[in-house]
């Protein structure tokens, strides 16, 4: 059985945090087992998160482009149609290919994979309720909790994943709804709203706060919201959901202004609850071995990802910090580097964030609001995609690049990009921040022509001088 011999590292959870930690640990010569309850590896990200959402964003974008833009490029169709089942099939194929790929990587790196629900019974033992019905105890000198997160519901709203859905249900609808209400204007709600809006659904986003995506630079956010509105997404900000009525064919949401006021009713075929995610530690046995959690259920860790219990570590969505797959992966690598007696580090101030709508919005480092609040003297360089020849040549020139640099030293503090492929463009900015580069360093780096990336160089030129093409 899995428990007969002791591991150096036992990872509970096979998401991007857990599976990457397991592979890295094995690569560092540590005997490693990974326990996952889902039946497939890859966690939220591969199964019901990043990957299926990007598959649907791509497919729905293709449809939308075919319908609205191909003709002007001289590509004509008689009748463009959506085959939703085929679109979902394509998404499912992407997911299953990638999750099986991780099983392959486990084999290649000699990570032992145990399918089942893990529960801590001591700081060096995990009891596993196997998916095959067997019960085993897996022992490890070090245990890494990588159990991730789960959908946060809203009080009084029951998610049935058919008419009242979480992101998981919104990724698997079997019909295109006529009307969709998205509760919560975070990146997940906006991405899923975009998918269905492109396929013809009337989408209304209801948000309690005054702004969409609160972490975004304010100037970029305004342009982003306008862009989504042009794509026919409606926004009801400063609005809260009071009640949901599912007793008839149509779902009725009772809403009222966040600050109080007259209630009103909005109807929809489907309601997506995307009000955030909670750390997931149910049935994990944390109390039994004394691992502390904070007020919202996250597991606090020190710089070495150690919990308050020696030998027990935690990484990814279940600990404080940005709830993103690449952050979970960075945590995983650093955590096992420490366990292996090496150094590791993750800088949460330099984790890029991307919203994969069209245009995409990507950012790394500080927003202008944050720099102001810190009282740092700064300069801003901006370059609109309208001045970028590649963007113009492909007729996709919405958006801009904005670079914020420290006034005195020209050090890059934050970069915010809204354009097609912004999620790819952001990484030279992440590198600049990691190496404390100045905006002049970016401006003096030769960028290939014609590329969208030239807009980053031009914004950098504008930060301490002038751009050329505007
Ligand atoms: P998870 O991926 O949640 O993995 C944890 C795993 O642990 C799960 O598979 C779970 O089954 C397993 N588990 C839990 N408890 C136990 C137990 N006791 N025993 C055994 N196994 C257990 N992030 C991005 O960076 N980019 C994106 O584009 C993006 N898009 C997203 C879209 C959606 C719709 C959603 C919902 C999320 C998205 N995210 C995205 C967030 C991303 O999915 C998470 O940040 C990431 O998956 C966190 O990784 P993790 O390894 O910490 O946890």
CB 366 within 8 A of CB 404: yes
CB 360 within 8 A of CB 422: yes
H or E element that contains 402: strand 400-406
Tell which one of 49, 53, 117, 171 to mutate to probe ligand 1, the residue whose CB is within 8 A of the most ligand atoms: 49
CB 177 within 8 A of CB 44: no
- The model's pLDDT over 340-399, given as tens digits with 9 standing for 90+, comes to 999 999 999 999 999 999 999 999 999 999 999 999 999 999 999 999 999 999 999 999
Separation between Cα atoms, residue 466 and residue 453, nearest integer Å: 17
- The model's pLDDT over 60-77, given as tens digits with 9 standing for 90+, comes to 999 999 999 999 999 998
Residue in 453, 457, 466, 465 with CA at minimum distance from that of residue 437: 457
Question: From the CA of 328, how far away is ligand 1's center (Å)?
Answer: 9
- The model's pLDDT over 15-58, given as tens digits with 9 standing for 90+, comes to 999 999 999 999 999 999 999 999 999 999 999 999 999 999 99
Question: From the CA of 61, how far away is ligand 1's center (Å)?
Answer: 25
Whether the pTM exceeds 0.90: the reply is yes
- Mark whether 449 is an active-site residue: yes
**Angle, to 10 degrees, between the axis of helix 16-27 and the axis of helix 84-109?**
30
- The model's pLDDT over 401-416, given as tens digits with 9 standing for 90+, comes to 999 999 999 999 999 9
> What DSSP string runs through 131-183?
TTS-EEEEEEEEEEE---EEE---TT----SSSEE-HHHHTS-SS--SEEEEE
- Binding-site entries for FAD: 54, 118, 147-149, 317, 323-326
- The model's pLDDT over 270-315, given as tens digits with 9 standing for 90+, comes to 999 999 999 999 999 999 999 999 999 999 999 999 999 999 999 9
3-class secondary-structure state, position 399: coil
Cα angle value 435/436/440 (rounded, 5°) = 105
* Residues whose CB is less than 8 angstroms from the CB of residue 39 and which lie 6 or more positions away in sequence, other chains included: 115, 131
- Ligand 1: which residue has its CA nearest to atom 26? 50
- The model's pLDDT over 2-19, given as tens digits with 9 standing for 90+, comes to 444 799 999 999 999 999
pLDDT for residue 129: 98
Please list every protein residue whose CB sits less than 6 Å from any atom of ligand 1: 12-18, 35-38, 43-45, 49-50, 53, 117-118, 146-149, 167, 188, 280, 283-284, 316-317, 323-326, 328, 356
pLDDT for residue 21: 98
> Residue 464 above 90 pLDDT?
no
Alpha carbon distances (Å) from 145 to 97, 234, 286, 355, 446? 26, 40, 10, 27, 44
The two tokens of residue 50 are 């990043």
Question: Is residue 27 packed enough to be buried (19+ CB in 10 Å), middle (13-18) or exposed (0-12)?
Answer: middle
Question: From the CA of 297, how far away is ligand 1's center (Å)?
Answer: 16
Alpha carbon distances (Å) from 443 to 77, 362, 428, 430, 458? 43, 19, 11, 15, 7
**Residues 170/173/178/179 CA torsion (nearest 10 deg):** -20
The two tokens of residue 354 are 């991307």
**Sign of dihedral through CA atoms 80, 86, 87, 88?**
positive
H or E element that contains 251: strand 251-257
Share of the chain above pLDDT 70, in %: 99
Q: Could you check whether the bond before residue 306 is cis, i.e. omega within 30 degrees of 0?
A: no
- The model's pLDDT over 199-234, given as tens digits with 9 standing for 90+, comes to 999 999 999 999 999 999 999 999 999 999 999 999
3-class secondary-structure state, position 38: coil
**How far from chain centre, in Å, is Cα 248?**
34
| Active-site position among 358, 449, 464, 469 | 449
């Amino acid at each position: 059985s899995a428990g007969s011999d002791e591991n150096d590292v036992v990872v509970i959870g096979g998401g991007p945090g857990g599976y990457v930690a397991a592979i890295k640990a094995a690569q560092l010569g540590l005997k490693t087992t990974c326990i996952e309850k889902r039946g497939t590896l890859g966690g939220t990200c591969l199964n019901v998160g990043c990957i299926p959402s990007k598959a649907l964003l791509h497919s729905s974008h293709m449809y939308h482009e075919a319908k609205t833009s191909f003709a002007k490029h001289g590509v004509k169709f008689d009748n463009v149609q959506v085959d939703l089942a085929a679109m979902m099939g394509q998404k499912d194929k992407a997911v299953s290919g990638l999750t099986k790929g991780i099983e392959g990587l486990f084999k290649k790196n000699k990570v032992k994979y145990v399918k089942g629900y893990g529960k801590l019974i001591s700081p060096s033992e995990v009891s596993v309720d196997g998916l095959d019905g067997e019960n085993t105890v897996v022992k490890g000198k070090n245990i890494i909790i990588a159990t991730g997160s789960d959908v946060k519901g809203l009080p009084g709203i029951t998610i049935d994943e058919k008419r009242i859905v979480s992101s998981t249900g919104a990724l698997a609808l079997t019909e295109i709804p006529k009307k969709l209400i998205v509760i919560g204007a975070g990146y997940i709600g906006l991405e899923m709203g975009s998918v269905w809006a492109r396929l013809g659904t009337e989408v209304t986003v209801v948000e309690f706060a005054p702004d969409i995506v609160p972490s975004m630079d304010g100037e970029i956010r305004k342009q982003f919201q306008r862009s989504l509105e042009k794509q026919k997404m409606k926004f009801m900000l400063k609005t809260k959901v009071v009640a949901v009525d599912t007793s008839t064919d149509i779902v009725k949401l009772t809403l009222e202004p966040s600050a109080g006021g007259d209630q009103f009713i909005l109807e929809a075929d489907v309601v997506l609850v995307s009000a955030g995610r909670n750390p997931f530690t149910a049935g994990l046995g944390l109390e039994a071995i004394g691992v502390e959690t904070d007020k919202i259920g996250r597991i606090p860790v020190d710089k070495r990802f150690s919990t308050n219990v020696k030998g027990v570590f935690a990484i990814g969505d279940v600990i404080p910090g940005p709830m993103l797959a690449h952050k979970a992966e960075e945590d995983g690598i650093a955590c096992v580097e420490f366990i292996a007696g090496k150094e590791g580090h993750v800088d949460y101030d330099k984790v890029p964030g991307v919203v994969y709508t069209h245009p995409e919005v990507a950012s790394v480092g500080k927003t202008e609001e944050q720099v102001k609040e810190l009282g740092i003297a700064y300069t801003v360089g901006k370059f609109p995609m309208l001045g970028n020849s590649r963007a113009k040549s492909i007729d996709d020139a919405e958006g801009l690049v904005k670079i914020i640099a420290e006034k005195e030293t020209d050090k890059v503090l934050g970069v915010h990009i809204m354009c097609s492929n912004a999620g790819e463009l952001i990484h030279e900015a992440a590198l600049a921040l990691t190496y404390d580069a100045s905006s002049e360093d970016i401006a003096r780096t030769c960028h290939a022509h014609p590329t969208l990336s030239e807009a980053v160089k031009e914004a950098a030129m504008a930060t301490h001088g002038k751009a050329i093409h505007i």
